[in-house]
Amino acid sequence: MDFSIFALKYYILIRIGQIAAGEFPVILAPMEDVTDSPFRSICKDFGADVLITEFVASEGLIRDAWKSRMKLQFETKERPIGIQIFGANIDSMIKAAEAAQNAGPDFIDLNFGCPVRKIVMKGGGAALLQDVPKMISMAKAVVQSTRIPVTAKTRLGWDEHHLEIVDIAERLQDAGIQAISIHGRTRVQLYGGKADWTLIGEVKNNPRMKIPVFGNGDIDSGPKAGEMKERYGVDGILIGRAAVGNPWIFREVKAFLGTGSVTAPPSVTERINMVRLHLEKSLLYKGERATLFEMRKMYSGYFRGIAGFKPYRLKLILSGSLQEVDSILREIQYLSLSE
């Protein structure tokens, strides 16, 4: 089955196989140690149309490693959801895709864009941008070995001298990939500089492209999402770093795309309540130690823009128990109410 655009009476619905993804899908981009099930479910509550897991190493799935198995878990409310896998060996990717498929997701996403050194040095992620024939062979092999849709996420190219995404997108489509997500940077850029959506627009407007094209990079507000939609004509967007500790970004984007209105930022009370909910969900999912560690990267996002928060951020990061975190949150709440 191919990704298709199904015309309804009043709007156009993007489909992943037979799965409805929304009129203009706003997707939570996969991020390591961020997009676990607790955080994904929160983002879903705020309007994320499609969710994608943290990326899962193919070799870890084959070995049935505990951390890899954990990443396959999701709640029914998270659908439609894709499991993202990465690796350098085609046979391993086929086996990993089978293991991921058995977990029951709606689709499998292939990571051809992660720029992190430890991934690239092993031949995975964005490393495949230096061996496009292997990337295409891997995509085709996974597509042929699975019963559910397969999508791919990649970048513009390896560096500014190899901006091959227009050709790569066509070839991935021909290999059976049913949607492509493109981050508007090269691997060499990592996450620096400004995302360039020009080539993403060229992929979308290429008359040979029949599958949905989703854009990724620097979407941090409703107006920015609206601008990218109108200027480049993409079928949907992915939100990554702007969502870290900020699930409200989905509410903001959906409101702007739907009505043109800009929503008010969350109150301090709403922020504190959301941190508590996130902690509660994470505690049930992975225990106190991992929760305390992984929440460290979330606090800046949850309290971004709040005057005087910096010393409390340090306290939260250094806290050694959930009771200590609770005490700090109470202090923040008290100070905000007394202002």
Q: CA 333, 334, 338: angle at the middle one, nearest 5?
A: 120
- Sign of the Cα pseudo-torsion (77, 211, 172, 112, in order): negative
Q: Which of 27, 61, 96, 114 is catalytic?
A: 114
**Interatomic CA distance for residues 315 and 308, integer angstroms:** 13
**Interatomic CA distance for residues 157 and 164, integer angstroms:** 6
Amino acid at 72: L
43 is an active site residue: no
Q: What is the DSSP string of 124-168?
A: -GGGGGG-HHHHHHHHHHHHHH-SS-EEEEEES-SSTT---HHHH
**Interatomic CA distance for residues 155 and 57, integer angstroms:** 19
Taking alpha carbons only, the member of 192, 189, 197 closest to residue 214 is: 197
Taking alpha carbons only, the member of 269, 330, 270, 321 closest to residue 295 is: 321
For residue 56, list its beta bridge partners: 85
Q: What is the DSSP string of 62-80?
A: HTT-HHHHHHT---GGG-S
Q: What is the DSSP string of 18-36?
A: TEEEESS-EEE---TTTSS
Q: Report which DSSP code applies to 112.
A: -
Taking alpha carbons only, the member of 239, 234, 247 closest to residue 281 is: 247
Active site residues: 114
